[in-house]
Amino acid sequence: MSVPFFDILKFECGNPSEYGFSKTYFFEKVKDRVKFVDSEAAALKLRNRGVLIKVEGYPLSLELVRGFEGKESVFLLDLSDILKSSGGKRASVLKRMGNFARYCIKYNVPFAMASFAENEGEMRSAEELVHIGFLIGLNRGEGRGAISKMGRILG
């Protein structure tokens, strides 16, 4: 049996299996389970809520990552930060996101990845998302694991 893959989109996708996903989630329907926070303190307050948490700037904070060990919530890597940037800004995002993911892996803290595509032209297949994971230093298994984790939170 293959591993189920998931993505969060900002538009309704008619056939997720066409892109290699078991299911795609429409952001408007799951936005209460996806939290965007701008500080470590705000993220730490949500660690027992069973939500996906995207921390702005992907801070390299041992306290933040270790605070999520064994907790219900999962960090979220928003791949649109990479896909919608270019040049030096993209390089900076790749480095910060990669360092953050390495900390999560080192301390066995789960994280998920999502594309947040806004239309079919921005849609990426499950394999493309895994390959984008390569850019931030994930291996194939870690990338595949990251796009399968959000099913646990979003159901």
- Per-residue pLDDT tens for 103-129? 999 999 999 999 999 999 999 999 999
Q: Tell me how far the alpha carbon of residue 136 is from its chain's centroid.
A: 12
Is residue 21 scored above 60 in pLDDT?
yes
CB contact at 8 A, 27 and 6:
no
Integer Cα distance of 145 and 77 in angstroms = 13
Q: How confident is the model at residue 14 (pLDDT cuts 50, 70, 90)?
A: confident
Q: Name the CATH architecture for the domain at 6-154.
A: Alpha-Beta Barrel (3.20)
Tell me the C-alpha distance between 72 and 155, whole Å.
14
Judge whether 65 and 88 are in contact, CB under 8 Å: no
pTM assigned to the model: 0.95
**How far, rounded to the nearest angstrom, does the alpha carbon of residue 138 sit from its chain's CA centroid?**
12
Residue, of 61 and 155, whose pLDDT is higher = 61
* DSSP one-letter code for 2: P
Q: CB within 8 A of 151, min separation 6: which ones? A: 4, 6, 22, 23
